[in-house]
């Protein structure tokens, strides 16, 4: 059973509201964790290179996909 300690309404600036569901300490959600390090991933770090590489892979994948389309190759898919 997931233990729910409290549900809090956190007023934000302007008209925005955020509802935070606070769980047992081992399950902090995305926003709470990132508030602790709002800088995100440092540019030039290994994480940034991996994300960039993944994005490049997507672009290469789209390029290669066009060449491998069955309508282009004429191959009947297995």
Partner 1 sequence: MSVPSRASFAPAPLNISWLFRPTKTEVDVAARPSDGLVVFSVMWGVAMMLSAASHMHLLGGHSGMLLATVTWSALIAAGLLLMSPRKTTLLALVAALMIVQYALRMPASSNNQTIALFMNIGLLTALGSQALRNRSSGGRRDAVYEQVRVIARALLATMYFYGVFHKINTGFLDPTTSCATALYEPLTRPFGLDETLIGLYGAIVATFVVETIAIVCLYWRRFFWVGLLVSLPFHYVIPISGFSWYMDFSSLVFALYMLSVPREVASGLYSSGMALVHRAPKLRAGISAGLALGAALTVAASIVIALSNFFPGRGEQQLWHSVWLLFWAVFGGTAMVLIVRAALLEQPYDEETSRISQPWWIYAIPTALFVSCMSPYVGLKTESSIAMFSNLHTEGGATNHLLFSKPPYLFDYQARAVRVLDSSSPAIRELAKDGTYGLVEHDVAIRLSHNPKLWITYEMNGRRYDRVTAATFSGRRPNWVERKLLDFKPIDWARPKVCTH
Which residues form the interface with partner 1 (CB under 8 A)? 1-2, 7, 12, 15-21, 23-31, 33-35, 38-43, 47-48, 50-52, 54-55, 57-59, 61-78
Ramachandran category for residue 74: left, alpha or beta (phi over 0 → left; psi -120 to 50 → alpha)? left
CB of 49 to partner 1, least distance (A): 10
DSSP 61: H
CB 29 within 8 A of CB 23: yes
CB of 69 to partner 1, least distance (A): 4
CB of 48 to partner 1, least distance (A): 5
């Amino acid at each position: 059973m997931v233990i729910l300690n409290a549900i809090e309404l956190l007023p934000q600036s302007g008209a925005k509201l955020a509802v935070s569901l606070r769980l047992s300490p081992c399950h902090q959600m995305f926003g709470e964790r990132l508030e602790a390090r709002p800088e995100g991933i440092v540019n030039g770090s290994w994480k940034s290179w991996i994300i960039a590489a993944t994005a490049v892979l997507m672009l290469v994948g789209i390029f290669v996909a066009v060449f491998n389309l069955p309508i282009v190759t004429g191959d009947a898919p297995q």
